[in-house]
Amino acid sequence: MKRKLIMMVALSLMLVMALTVVGCGKSGQKDDGKLTIGIVQIVEHPSLNTIRESMVAELATLGYKDGENITIDYQNAQNDQTNLKTIAQKFANNKYDLIVAIATPSAQAAVGETKDIPVVFSACTDPVGSGLVTNLEKPGANVTGTSDAVSAEKIMELAQRITPGIKTVGALYNTSETNSVSVINDLKAYGAKNGIKVIDATVTNSNEVQQAVSSLAGKVDAVFSPIDNTVASAMPVVAQVANKAKLPVYVGADSMVNDGGLATYGVNYITLGQETGKMVAEILKGTKPGDIPVKTISDVEIYLNKDTAAAIGVTIPDAVVKEAAHIFGK
């Protein structure tokens, strides 16, 4: 009797194991028919959050709804490279059907973990320079996405309209973010061409941002920060220090203006998210990512912060105000 009971238990365990294996499915598609999309985001800040939310909304509009016919696994890396690698490995090992990587570091981590699963990047300023693709028109392989490339020249021309006479600019950025380095290189080229000195104030993490901004006080006429994830996550601190020093801060993203920067000539991140969502849907329908050209958002708009202008004693010209797509503050 005892031997029979043991055999029954063993058979039950084997049945459970068999059902577990079947339930796992293949390529991230569970036995309920849902496709699995992993979203990895380097850090939470308004611009990146807007992209993610806009992309998910666009997917729903196109018929791909989380919890209905797709499963979305969103992971935030908390601005930590080790977390990024762990998340990307999880998505790859679980054979998800598609990975969406928001911001350049996220994309680099995802691309480094899989050559088979489609990867769609979003908000990658310099996809070629960052090693994500070799050709924007024909990405090839398993990767494509959207770029939020901004023009340092356009932003600086806007800066000269708002606060004329800028001769020295502090470049605030994280040197490990290739997306930031490419824009700062453009800033330096613009400076060399127009007689403007650029002084670096670099950081490696958000805890260093306050000291970096403080180091620029009294040395520069303005501060410039590209779409830098480290700086963006600490923008309230940047604004606090810069406002006290009466320093205008020109930035690369609308959310950075909302968080205290003075102005930008930047990308609409709702549009960027929508375009990313369209790419994801196209791939889910069967198009190879390598056949989809990288899309650079060319429509840029002026964003202003009136509260910041008042705090540093700057009057924004009426002509600039009229051109602005959005004005933050009262």
The pLDDT tens digits for 144-179 are 999 998 899 999 999 999 999 999 999 999 999 988
Instruction: Specify the DSSP element, H or E, that contains 131.
Output: none
Indicate the DSSP class of residue 29.
Answer: B
Q: Look at residues 156, 132, 151 and name the one whose alpha carbon lies nearest to residue 143.
A: 132
The second-level CATH assignment, the architecture, of 152-267+300-328 is: 3-Layer(aba) Sandwich (3.40)
CATH superfamily of 29-149+269-296: Response regulator (3.40.50.2300)
* 152-267+300-328 shares the fold of 29-149+269-296: yes
At 268 the pLDDT is: 87
Task: Report residues of the chain scoring pLDDT below 50.
Answer: 1-31
At 179 the pLDDT is: 87
Contact 110, 75 (CB under 8 A): no
Residues in contact with 122: Cβ distance below 8 Å, sequence separation at least 6, in sequence order: 51, 55, 100, 101, 102, 103, 145, 146, 148, 272, 273, 276
Residues in contact with 140: Cβ distance below 8 Å, sequence separation at least 6, in sequence order: 133, 134, 290
Rounded Cα distance, 181 and 264, in Å: 18
The pLDDT tens digits for 46-77 are 889 999 999 999 999 999 999 999 999 999 99
Instruction: Report the Cα 286 to chain-centroid distance in Å.
Output: 25
Contact 85, 93 (CB under 8 A): no
At 32 the pLDDT is: 60
Q: Look at residues 47, 55, 100 and name the one whose alpha carbon lies nearest to residue 75.
A: 100
At 196 the pLDDT is: 98
Relative orientation angle of helices 178-194 and 104-113, to the nearest 10 degrees:
140
pTM of the model: 0.81
Q: Where are the domains of the chain?
A: 29-149+269-296, 152-267+300-328
